[in-house]
Amino acid sequence: MALVLDASVASRWLSKDESEGDRAYANAILERLTLPDERAYVPCHWSLEMANVAIRGEHKGFIEWGMVELFLEILEDIDFHIDLEASTRAMTDLTDLARHYRLTSYDAAYLELAQRLSVPLATLDKDLRRAAEKAGVPLI
């Protein structure tokens, strides 16, 4: 099985300040990703988003560095497949999707990847969920 993993889900693995429902959803996705036949696809900017979440959380005092280190270890244990095509599609497909669904270019990359691979999208982002539903992309 495969899915596209949005940063909004993975960031919940680090943050403890989110709603119980969001944490439960994110933890269910994490559990799914520990299965041997599960594959998570992410666009090329995903690693930068994850690093930014960790650094901002520490700078703002929401999390301690030990939590960040644990978070980074969790990420290292998951079989992520980083898609490099987002950067080549940024000026065409992603821009069109972002304009059509009123998304950021970053979020459009997740939507485009799920469409192109014909796999479901795991996201907690309300705008991205709405766009995926309109585009016919299945959500987890």
Domains parsed from the chain with CATH numbers? 2-135 (3.40.50.1010)
Segment 104-122 mean pLDDT: 95
In percent, the amount of the chain with pLDDT more than 90 equals 56
Q: What is the pLDDT of residue 17?
A: 66
Q: What is the pLDDT of residues 85-105, one digit of tens each?
A: 877 776 788 889 999 999 999
Q: What is the pLDDT of residues 59-93, one digit of tens each?
A: 888 888 888 888 888 888 888 899 988 777 767 88
Residue 41 CB partners (closer than 8 Å, separation 6+): 2, 3, 4, 5, 80, 81, 83, 113, 117, 119
Model confidence at 15: pLDDT above 90: no
Give pTM, 2 decimals.
0.90
Contacts 24+ apart (CB under 8 A), 49-53: 49/7, 49/11, 49/106, 50/7, 50/10, 50/11, 50/75, 53/7, 53/10, 53/11, 53/14, 53/15
Q: What is the pLDDT of residues 18-52, one digit of tens each?
A: 788 999 999 999 999 988 889 999 999 998 999 89
Residue 112 banded pLDDT, cuts 50, 70, 90: very high
